[in-house]
A and B are shown apart, each in its own frame.
Chain A
Amino acid sequence: MIPAIQLEQVQKHFGGLAALKGVDLTIEQGEFFALLGPNGAGKSTLINLLAGLLKPTSGKLSVLGFDVQAQYADARRALGVVPQELVFDPFFNVREMLRFQAGYFGRGRENDAWVDEIIECLGLTDKAHTNMRRLSGGMKRRALIAQALAHKPPVIVLDEPTAGVDVELRQMLWEFIKRLNREGHTIILTTHYLEEAETLCSRVAMMKQGEIVALDSTQNLLNRLPGKNLQLKLADALPTSLMDLVKFADGLDYTLALNEVAQVEFVLTELRAANVAVVDMQLIEADLEDVFVNLVGRA
């Protein structure tokens, strides 16, 4: 199968600064992929090269097999990018912007149902006729995400989509993005919230100073370090007595932080007492943040 994204020996220099130092990366279609790294690692540079907003100093990039320069029209049609900066056009309202954006990609009225669906799924229904200028920061971020999806691109790149966004939208956004992934869209995201990457993404690249320092499945990366995290998939909600231990929760999936392995006994006792069945359980050695700090160091 043609990879969703392919980079071969991609270098990008800004004057004397090497922002990318010969990056090789292949992301398959249908993956949910995280690009992690401290500020200035080169994540956005990589994304902007894919989007054609920057030109590589050397190397080749392609989206669904289309060279981002030689076949830019096909490459860009295949790609939806949520930029990191919160940009907007103050002249128009949300729905107008989405229709324009779809129109730029050659989509017409037949696309309106999809635009309405995005508006609904991102919780923008009330704001569909509000001028972009008058949206709150988080609402602007939603609109920005919606714009990237307006032409229903097979490959979706989100550059820190959850920066400055409330819990409700995060959940809403990830539900929607997970659905798109199930329907076959390839998802690539950058985030500084490592739990997000850990629960959502099946594969992770960690970048540091323009290079990829780790590229592996999330699971393999997590197995690299010793640690004490208990991952639970429950049939019912977690009893309140265990809430203090929660490190991360997504629906009925919980990650509990344990001080020592012996605490597993206590957790199981509490669950039994509350009559909550355990669907799945795993003692995880460490979380992505530990791996990240280990590989990349504190930013």
Chain B
Amino acid sequence: MMANLRGPWTLFKKELLRFWRVSFQTVAAPVMTALLYLLVFSHVLEGRVQVHGVSYTTFLIPGLIMMSVLQNAFANSSSSLIQSKVMGNLVFVLLTPISYLQFFLAFLAASVIRGLVVGLGIYLVAILFVDLPITYPWLILAFAITGSALLGAFGIVAGIWADKFDQMAAFQNFIIMPLSFLSGVFYSIHSLPPFWQTVSHFNPFFYMIDGFRYGFFGTGDISPAISLSVVAGSFFVLSWLTLKMLKSGYKLRG
């Protein structure tokens, strides 16, 4: 491998190992949480609700998978950065010739992998119990990757901005959780009053969930082309801002 790519490659590998070493917390736990949601909601609502012509439980699974993919992609970069900052060991990376772009890509790629691994875990367990169609696999993959990249980048911003763990918890609880719960994971937004339908259209999570689900059922609330454009567009805008922030050395190089 070219010597000057070995730096970011090593950082990427280290970030992968970091979550894999504690995969009980970082992979098994979120899979378990998603399955609990599935159990409870499907038990309460199955038979009463049908969405897009499929049973409620079947409808629920892709949304739960995608929600976990997104939350875990965010958790990976944000928690790694805040921990390294609080522990002080981020200097080991800051002392190296790794550029801000390489730094960004390494953390981003590790976040995407974490998101995909958790998503795959939930999928594999869920299909033991429920028949889940796959209509457009490439759409599923495209949304999983762009979505986790978007949230991975968001996690980098949050990890760099936050100085303390409780600031990070506020990020999780007041931004990530509401956006993911109000995105149509548990319902089709067509079942909402018009006002809330409009509000949902400003939530990027809505497009990620809907597009991802489209890949399974071949139908959704909105065209997947629009969703993918919104998600990819958001990713590019956020990445550009993140890179500007990293380049300036904000909070990292005083």
Contact = CB atoms under 8 A, between A and B. Distances in A.
Interface stretch (A25-33, A52-60, A268-276): A52-60
A51 B7 CA distance: 17
A81 interface: yes
Given A88-B89, A103-B7, A52 B253 contact: yes
A267 to B, nearest CB: 47
Given A100-B14, A104-B92, 20 more contacts: A52-B95, A53-B254, A54-B253, A55-B249, A73-B97, A73-B99, A79-B95, A81-B95, A89-B84, A89-B87, A90-B87, A91-B22, A100-B13, A100-B92, A103-B7, A104-B11, A104-B93, A105-B97, A106-B6, A106-B7
Contacts of A74: 97
B52 to A, nearest CB: 43
Interface SS majority for chain B: helix
A154 B133 CA distance: 60
Interface of B: 1, 3-4, 6-7, 9-11, 13-14, 17-18, 21-22, 84, 87-89, 91-99, 249, 253-254
A76 B98 CA distance: 9
Contact of A87 (B10, B17, B88, B99): B88
A114 interface: no
A79 B9 CA distance: 21
Contact of B18 (A14, A87, A91, A106): A91
A73 B99 CA distance: 8
Of the candidates B14, B93, B99, B249, the one having the most CB atoms from chain A within 10 angstroms of its own CB is B14
A83 B91 contact: yes
A108 B6 contact: yes
A66 B49 CA distance: 67
B27 to A, nearest CB: 15
Contact of B97 (A55, A77, A83): A77
A72 B84 CA distance: 22
Contacts of A88: 87, 89
Chain A: interface size category: 20 to 34
Given A52-B253, A73-B97, A89-B84, A104 B91 contact: no
Interface of A: 14, 51-55, 72-74, 76-77, 79, 81, 83, 85, 87-92, 97, 100-101, 103-108, 147
A106 B14 contact: no
A46 B96 CA distance: 18
B17 A101 contact: no
Contact of B253 (A53, A73, A104, A108): A53
B95 A51 contact: yes
21 contacts: A53-B253, A54-B253, A54-B254, A55-B253, A72-B97, A81-B95, A87-B92, A88-B87, A89-B89, A92-B14, A101-B96, A103-B10, A103-B13, A104-B92, A104-B98, A106-B3, A106-B4, A106-B6, A106-B97, A107-B3, A107-B6
A82 to B, nearest CB: 10
Contacts of B17: 91-92
A188 B249 CA distance: 26
Contacts of B94: 51-53
Contact of B96 (A55, A97, A105): A105
Q: Which of A73, A79, A104, A108: most chain B Cβ within 10 A?
A: A104
Which 3 A-B pairs have CB atoms at the shortest separation, nearest pair first? A103-B10, A87-B88, A73-B97
